[in-house]
Amino acid sequence: MKSRLAKNEALATEPKVAEYLQIMDERITQCNKIIGDLISFTRISSPNYTVVILSNVLESTLSGIDIPGGITVVDNYGQGSMEVRVDPLQLLKVFTNLIVNAYEATLEGGELTVVVTSKESSVEEAIKDTGPGMSPEGLEVIFEPLYTTKIQGTGLGLAVCQQVITKHNDRLEVHSKVGVAATFTVTLSLFSESQ
């Protein structure tokens, strides 16, 4: 919108008008994000299952996120061939949301850790920040729609993540204490030929 209005030379030369156009542009971007989040929350489709190698999904997720300098990313998921039967686009969205939340909670100089642990018939992906942690009250409502602690947040990201993982018949959990890092763990069933 700003670019269309700024084409008018009279508007572009007025500092106050330019300032207001910038504010309007930012608010429109925020509104678009809220609308997108609401649509995602209300239209989570059934998973379109495909067998994928988990490390590929995680690598794709991390490579698509611009993590600010000053935050160290520690990944320990190896190049193994742990196969999971998931909707890769939905899983990418879940991992993106969890990783973005983790780096937003991490102070400069902190670490964001992604660890994959193989169990007998499942695999756990733990995403850990070095942020301030969460209160017991916050932990109780963290996955509820519209709950947020962020000024610019919609409170739908983690609710969408929980819905997606539930539709996969898998688990998303969080562990944290005030003053201690938060860890979000996604537990997925390993693929077997009998599925």
Token pair in block for residue 175: 């562990």
Residue 194 inside a domain? The answer is no
pLDDT band at 179 (very low <50, low <70, confident <90, very high): confident
- Res 35: pLDDT: 75
Residue 170 half-sphere exposure, CB side, CA atoms within 13 Å? 26
Decide which of 61 and 69 is more confident.
Answer: 61
Name the β-bridge partners of 184.
127, 174
> Are residue 9 and residue 94 in the same domain, yes or no?
no
Token pair in block for residue 70: 């000053």
Question: How many Å separate Cα 99 from the centre of its chain?
Answer: 5
Residue 67 inside a domain? The answer is yes
Token pair in block for residue 161: 């993540």
> Are residue 58 and residue 145 in the same domain, yes or no?
yes
Residue 90 half-sphere exposure, CB side, CA atoms within 13 Å? 24
SS3 149: coil
> Are residue 32 and residue 64 in the same domain, yes or no?
no
- Res 52: pLDDT: 94
Residue 19 inside a domain? The answer is yes
pLDDT band at 20 (very low <50, low <70, confident <90, very high): confident
Q: What's the predicted TM-score (pTM) here?
A: 0.78
Q: With beta carbons less than 8 A apart as the criterion, state whether 156 and 48 touch.
A: no
User: Residues of the chain with pLDDT > 90: what percent?
Assistant: 44
